[in-house]
Structure 1
Amino acid sequence: MDEHLNGSRLLAISGLRNLRDLGGLGAVRTGLCYRSAGLGLLTAEGARELAKLGLRTVIDLRDPLELVQHPDRTHDLEVDLANFPLLPQDGPEDPHGLPLDRVYPLIIDTQGPALVAVLRRLLEPEALPALLHCAIGRDRTGIVTALLLDLLGVPEEQIIADYMLSNEGLDLLDGPREYVDVHGVTRLSHPVEARLLTDLLALVREQHGGTEAYLRTHGLNSAEILDLRATLRE
């Protein structure tokens, strides 16, 4: 596998953007949980490089239509593929067209069971190491990883710093870039702003009493929380 990009935590793998290990944040163990953009452009060489991480599970947070239009390419990589759509599938509005400051609280308000299901998937036998991703590995992936890291006791400033690293991982440091959404509409991807995640974490604290209480409300039990902490922390 290639070295880190420019000395940052980002990992350079052919055809896979925005990849990094959550290990090293707080007391999180290295080599167990990764995040990235989708695997739709992963090359055969990239798959061989990715295999060196020992991945066993790839958790895809995208909608079913996105999976059809831009399927993950795993080549000969032997992994279990799991899909947990993290946007509402039957609401009155298309969440892909909403501003992010509406999408983030919408996910918290409506997708608690899906968020818990993702964390439970990490606890299944031989699930780790695992890779979490959505389309570009920033927003849906950012929310899941922020809640996971908060549950693991990672300081908020480190959670935000990891979130902001997506601007480098997606080459957005110099401004917006065009992309085509799930409906074929050309849109602009803007650099992510820290306030989106700080506001989300504040919302979880104010309305639910914190991440642990929020996840408990949606079914994650004490044994599972202890298991996640014992498995993923040093």
Structure 2
Amino acid sequence: MSTPKVELVRLAETDVNNALAPEQYGPVISSPPFVFVDGTFNTRDLGLVPDSPLRSNFAFRSGTLGGLTDNGKAVLTGKLGVKRVFDLRSPDERTRMPDPVIDGVENTWIQSTSPDSKPDLTSFVAGEGEAGYEDMYLEVIDIYAESWKAILEHVRDRPQDPFLVHCTAGRDRTGVFGGMLLALAGASEDAIATDWQLSRIGTEPVRAMLLEFARKGTDAYGEDQPGFYNLVNLRKSCWRAFVKALEKRYGGFEGFVTDKLGFSQDDLSKIKKNLTSA
């Protein structure tokens, strides 16, 4: 049984300073739109997010797969039917925790055009960190362009092959991917922002690890450094700020897909159709 949307949103809007208890998040991450895959976290079906127009059992997202167990592999290939995994991590991240080899699953990794910049915490200080998120996600959109292109080519050419996309936390780079696919499928801004914010719940089992990952990734001296708090929270105002900046630069996700990635209008129509119907 799916978790009611009102409950999902309530938990997803919990301040990151307030840890969620296992009895709060446990039942949620074990039911749709989340999928329990042993050895990973923050795994969900984009077609089961509340109000998603995207078809289910096709596009999945998650955190790193490095800890995937044999049971997790069986769920991934059996219950979910995943045929391809796209890895959005850096070479260093992949070296520290390589993707597992899974029989019958194709692993795809395309190096970004430049290394991810360390987020500048000073840009996250004002308001709820909107300016920092604009900069961070516009960079993600640009430097992972070849990965976005490969994913959309898969949607266009292999609509019968379910796939999964992940990074380390399954939160930011994977969050941009989720937003792009939902937008192309015709989801409302609220549904897209809700999916993005669900990573607040999905990452809770590895909360300490990810806070440390964020601290090291920003060279922060501690979690009380100005700007860090806004960086690690997931507030819809920050997603909206990014979308507004994307509209200004590319005309939104569709403009990005045609102008930056080079897909034709026929390609775009086919991608949209394949996202919403088998």
TM-score category by the smaller chain? Answer: 0.7 to 0.9
Deviations 1:27-63 (A, max 9, x none): 2111000000010111111111212211100001111
- Hey, what does 1:69 align to over in structure 2? 96
Contact 1:22 1:34 (8 Å CA) reproduced:
yes
Determine the C-alpha separation between the residues in 1 that align with 2:209 and 2:82: 32
TM-score, normalised relative to structure 2: 0.71
What residue identity is the alignment partner of 2:117? P
Deviations 1:108-146 (A, max 9, x none): 355445433332233344772000111110000001111
User: Partners in 1 of 2:189 and 2:232 — Cα distance?
Assistant: 23
The match for 1:17 is 41
- Correspondence for 1:151: 184
Contact 1:4/1:12 (CA < 8 Å) preserved in 2? no
Please give the per-residue CA displacement for 1:173-231, whole angstroms capped at 9, x wherever unaligned: 999953347x8998668232222321111111122222211211110211221111111
AA partner of residue 170 (structure 2): G
Match of residue 162 from structure 1 = 195
Change (3 A) 1:226 1:126: closer
Q: Give the Cα separation in 1 of the matches to 2:210 and 2:256.
A: 34
Which of 1 and 2 has greater Rg?
A: 2
2-structure distance, mates of 1:31, 1:179: 33
Considering only aligned residues, what root-mean-square deviation do their CA atoms show, in Å?
Answer: 3.0
User: Does the CA-based 8 Å contact 1:176-1:191 persist in structure 2?
Assistant: no
- Does the CA contact (< 8 Å) of 2:84 and 2:107 recur in 1? yes
Task: Report 1:1-234 matches (<5 A).
Answer: 5=29, 7-24=31-48, 25-52=51-78, 53-74=80-101, 76-86=102-112, 88-89=113-114, 95-99=117-121, 101=133, 102-125=135-158, 128-171=161-204, 178-180=211-213, 190-218=232-260, 219-234=262-277
Q: 1:13 to 1:103 in 2, by over 3 A?
A: same
Aligned amino acid, residue 51 of structure 1: T
Greater RCO (Cα-Cα under 8 Å, separation 6 or more)? 2
Q: Call closer, same or farther: CA 1:176–1:44 in 2, change over 3 Å.
A: closer
Contact map agreement 1:10 1:20 (CA 8 A) in 2: yes
- The 3 A distance-change label for structure 1 pair 161 and 107 is same
Amino acid at match of 1:35: R
Contact 1:121 1:127 in 2 (8 A): no
* 196-205 vs 113-122, greater mean Cα deviation: 113-122
CA distance in 2, matches of 1:19, 1:70: 17
Count the aligned residue pairs: 226
Shift in alpha-carbon separation, 1:71–1:95, aligned structure 2, 3 A: same
Relative distance call for 1:177 and 1:115 in structure 2 (3 A) is closer
Q: 124-133 or 214-223, which moves further after superposition? A: 124-133
Q: Say if 2:53 and 2:187, in contact at 8 Å, map to a contact too.
A: yes
- Structure 2 counterpart of 1:95, one-letter code: S
Deviation string, structure 1 residues 130-165 (Cα, Å, up to 9, x no partner): 001111100000011111211111101000001111
Question: Structure 2, unaligned stretches of length 5 or more?
Answer: 1-26, 122-131, 224-230
Gaps of 5+ in 1: none
Write the letter of the residue equivalent to 1:60: D
**SS of alignment partner, residue 12 of structure 1:** coil
Residue 104 of structure 1 aligns to which amino acid in structure 2? Y
- The sequence identity of aligned pairs, in percent, is 26
